[in-house]
């Protein structure tokens, strides 16, 4: 295990000050003193190593209240960088971020039947090597790598265990953490992708300042991350598909988990495509059923082609009912829906959120906000993967 993070030599007080600026805003020393309840003399001592390491920089000057304009301190937007990786079943996304979680460079590729672990990891490492060599010329340093991936995982050891529905074979017991630490020589954090995404949106995105946040990624599977009162709500065995296997029809369709009537049996990309094939053997749709993809179904539904609209509507109904149950149980301030199905189908999003409002008796009264895509949209998991590295460095509980 590698533990050579740049924050390791800093005191907990210095980390606290850095964390305050990171999560709130650029601030004067006077403001920081008030927020943290730390005397200016002590604050100067705590900030000194942060300034010497150039983790904090003088960003600009604030408004004067008479006399000299105060100096604002902010997280350095250059010099230190983190790699965030999102390994999903349909794509892989890599993002280079600065410490303010701003994406600097991005690389994305689709996953297909040839996307074995060996090929995918080779592509990722090759891109990182190229980026790292360019950063070094600019005196930039990659300080860590975060990976948000499909579960189930062993978070402590950084392993992908035995996920279902990858198009290529071989995605069992992949030691991501040890592979990347050995090749890159920096600390690596691994977590479920939905957990990474909800962290990104809560700490740096659209849900900032909201205590209870739900993030759901609708793709080949349905993945959920929850933050309640600032802390992750982790399921049994750290699974991210608990919502996917919420039963919405006791005598319903058989699910891959062996149960009947789970949300994933109706509302995932896989189930949506299968339903289209099975229920629309003969159709005047322009889509060729033998080669059908969820993107084509979504596009056909937007054109209001009847078979596709029926399938999307059916899937959205069960998703909406599940969301209503979840809202009643957890009382979130915001529910962010994202992932390939949400991105490609406005109809699915509109229908399932409308049903959720009605079934949970909220009547769109503002107590719960739905959001399509979040602030970070398709890069939320990758941004969150970077964020979890930084939060770990700062000693913040994940």
pLDDT of amino acid 68? 65
Same structural domain, 309 and 389:
no
Same structural domain, 59 and 117:
no
Question: Which of 46, 75, 104 represents a domain boundary (last residue)?
Answer: 75
Same structural domain, 180 and 133:
yes
Same structural domain, 245 and 367:
yes
3-state SS, residue 223: strand
119 has a pLDDT exceeding 80: yes
More confident residue, 300 or 363: 300
Same structural domain, 128 and 164:
yes
Q: By mean pLDDT, which of 91-100, 174-183, 243-252, 381-390 is the weakest? A: 243-252
Indicate if the alpha-carbon torsion angle 205, 210, 211, 213 is positive or negative: negative
b/e per residue 158-187 (b: at least 16 CB within 10 A): bbbeebeebebeebeebebbebbbeebebb
111 inside domain: yes
Same structural domain, 347 and 240:
yes
Same structural domain, 224 and 361:
yes
Domain that holds residue 291: 208-374
pLDDT digits (tens, 9 = 90+) for 303-313: 998 889 999 99
pLDDT of amino acid 318? 96
- Does the model's pTM come out above 0.85? yes
2 inside domain: no
326 inside domain: yes
Indicate if the alpha-carbon torsion angle 310, 165, 111, 235 is positive or negative: positive
Structure tokens at 129: 């090597």
For the chain, what is the domain count? Answer: 3
Query: Radius of gyration (Cα) for the chain, nearest Å?
Result: 23
Same structural domain, 105 and 253:
no
Same structural domain, 130 and 182:
yes
Q: By mean pLDDT, which of 43-57, 98-112, 224-238 is the weakest? A: 224-238
More confident residue, 69 or 91: 91
285 inside domain: yes
pLDDT of amino acid 1? 47
4 inside domain: no
Same structural domain, 189 and 251:
no
The CATH number of residue 241's host domain is 3.30.420.40
pLDDT of amino acid 281? 67
101 inside domain: yes
83 has a pLDDT exceeding 80: yes
Same structural domain, 156 and 85:
yes
5 inside domain: no
Question: Which of 32, 50, 75 represents a domain boundary (last residue)?
Answer: 75
Same structural domain, 48 and 188:
no
Contact 67, 80 (CB under 8 A): no
**What is the pLDDT averaged over residues 3-31?**
88
Q: What is the dihedral of CA 301, 304, 310, 314, to 10 degrees?
A: 60
pLDDT of amino acid 289? 55
Contact 394, 15 (CB under 8 A): yes
The CATH number of residue 61's host domain is 1.10.10.10
* Rounded Cα–Cα distance for residues 358 and 97 (Å): 40
6 inside domain: no
**What is the pLDDT averaged over residues 244-251?**
90
164 has a pLDDT exceeding 60: yes
pLDDT above 70 covers a percentage of the chain that reads 91
The Cβ of residue 114 has, within 10 Å, a number of other Cβ atoms equal to 9
pLDDT digits (tens, 9 = 90+) for 106-118: 999 999 999 999 9
Give the closest residue to 263 by CA, choosing from 317, 310, 332, 335.
Answer: 317
pLDDT of amino acid 174? 96
């Amino acid at each position: 295990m590698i533990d050579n993070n740049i924050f390791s030599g800093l005191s907990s007080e210095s980390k606290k000050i850095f964390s305050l600026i990171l999560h709130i805003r650029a601030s004067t020393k006077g403001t920081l003193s008030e927020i943290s309840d730390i005397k200016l003399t002590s604050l100067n001592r705590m900030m000194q190593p942060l300034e010497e390491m150039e983790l904090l920089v003088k960003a600009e000057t604030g408004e004067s209240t008479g006399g000299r304009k105060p100096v604002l301190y902010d997280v350095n937007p250059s010099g230190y960088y983190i790699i965030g990786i999102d390994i999903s079943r349909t794509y892989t996304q890599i993002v280079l971020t600065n410490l303010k979680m701003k994406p600097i460079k991005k690389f994305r590729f689709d996953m297909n039947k040839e996307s074995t672990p060996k090929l995918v990891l080779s592509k990722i490492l090759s891109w990182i090597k190229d980026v790292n060599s360019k950063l070094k010329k600019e005196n930039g340093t990659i300080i860590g790598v975060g990976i948000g991936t499909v579960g189930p995982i062993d978070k402590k050891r950084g392993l992908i265990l035995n996920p279902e529905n990858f198009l290529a074979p071989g995605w069992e017991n992949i030691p991501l953490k040890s592979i990347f630490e050995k090749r890159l020589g920096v600390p690596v954090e691994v977590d479920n992708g939905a957990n990474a995404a909800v962290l990104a949106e809560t700490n740096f995105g659209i849900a900032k300042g909201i205590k209870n946040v739900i993030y759901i990624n609708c793709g080949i599977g349905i993945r959920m991350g929850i933050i309640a009162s600032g802390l992750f709500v982790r399921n049994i065995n750290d699974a991210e598909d608990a919502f996917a296997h919420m039963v919405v029809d006791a005598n319903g369709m058989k699910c891959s988990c062996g149960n009947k009537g789970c949300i994933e049996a109706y509302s995932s990309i896989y189930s949506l495509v299968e339903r289209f094939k099975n229920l629309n053997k003969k159709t005047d749709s322009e889509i060729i059923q033998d080669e059908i993809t969820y993107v084509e179904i979504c596009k056909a539904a937007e054109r209001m082609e009847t078979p596709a609209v029926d399938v999307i509507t059916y899937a959205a109904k069960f998703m909406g009912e599940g969301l209503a149950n979840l809202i009643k149980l957890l009382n979130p301030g915001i529910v962010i829906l994202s992932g390939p199905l949400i991105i490609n189908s406005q109809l699915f999003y509109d229908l399932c959120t409308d049903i959720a409002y009605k079934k949970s008796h909220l009547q769109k009264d503002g107590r719960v906000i739905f959001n399509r895509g979040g602030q970070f949209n398709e890069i939320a998991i990758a941004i969150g993967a970077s964020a979890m590295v930084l939060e770990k460095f700062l000693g913040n509980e994940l």
